[in-house]
Amino acid sequence: MLNHAGITHANVLNDMWLSLAGGVTSGVHPFHTPVLASALGHEPDLRTVVLRSADEKHRQISCHTDIRSPKVSILQSNPRVAWLFYDRVARVQLRLYGGASIHSTDSIAAARWKQCTQNSRQCYLTPNAPGMALIGQDERPSGPDSGFENFAVISCEVSAIDWLFLSAGGHSRARFDWTDDHWNGKWIAP
């Protein structure tokens, strides 16, 4: 189906997954650091994360976190999340919605840990949980696998997409919902 700008739903989905893949592989890609939103009760919670994977076939995207982070307990209580991506040059805003799952000390976490650089592993070496008040010096233990016990993968199965293209000639917006094993797209007012 075409909108007034000649863009098809298939084009939107294809470009979206290509951009997400670019965000995974390039630290300078605008989709590399999206905002991940969650909620506990009536309290929204937002944070910038690093996009670590984008799997179109399984509709999965992910980031890494410290298992001790408050966001882990928030997601365990309410796994519904939203991701916000924005590409200023392409003038595309992308919001992805879905359910998050936490992987720590399992095969998914172990495989990702092996892919992490030593610099990335440093993030998980602190003896203090994220957000914890610091008293004295933050000491880091040593050892090649030290930190894995604090490492986790937040994986999200995408179930809905809101795509917005900003243009002086008229904005375009589409909504996609995953139903009956395929994406159902419709054009909506920007």
Domain-embedded: residue 131: no
Number of neighbours of residue 33 by Cβ within 10 angstroms: 14
In a domain, 38, yes or no: yes
Q: Which of 146, 151, 55, 143 minimizes the C-alpha distance to 111?
A: 151
Tell me how many domains the chain contains.
Answer: 1
Give the rounded percent of residues in the chain with a pLDDT score beyond 90. 76
| Contacts with 162 (C-beta within 8 Å, 6 or more apart), sequence order | 94, 95, 97, 173, 174, 175, 176
Does 22 reside within a domain? yes
* Distance, CA of 105 to CA of 67 (rounded, Å): 10
Instruction: Look at residue 134 and tell me if it is in a domain.
Output: no
Task: Please state, as a whole number, how many other Cβ atoms lie within 10 Å of the Cβ of residue 114.
Answer: 9
119-135 pLDDT, tens digit per residue, is: 899 889 888 888 888 77
Q: By the 8 A CB rule, do 95 and 162 touch?
A: yes
CB-based contact 175:109 (threshold 8 Å): no
Asked whether residue 139 is assigned to any structural domain, the reply reads: no
The CATH number assigned to the domain holding 25 equals 2.30.110.10
Residue 4, in any domain of the structure: no
pTM of the model: 0.91
pLDDT, one tens digit per residue, over 5-40 is: 678 999 999 999 999 999 999 999 999 999 999 998
Report if residue 157 sits inside a domain.
yes
Q: Is residue 3 included in any domain, yes or no?
A: no
User: Whole domain around residue 16: which residue ranges?
Assistant: 9-126+144-187
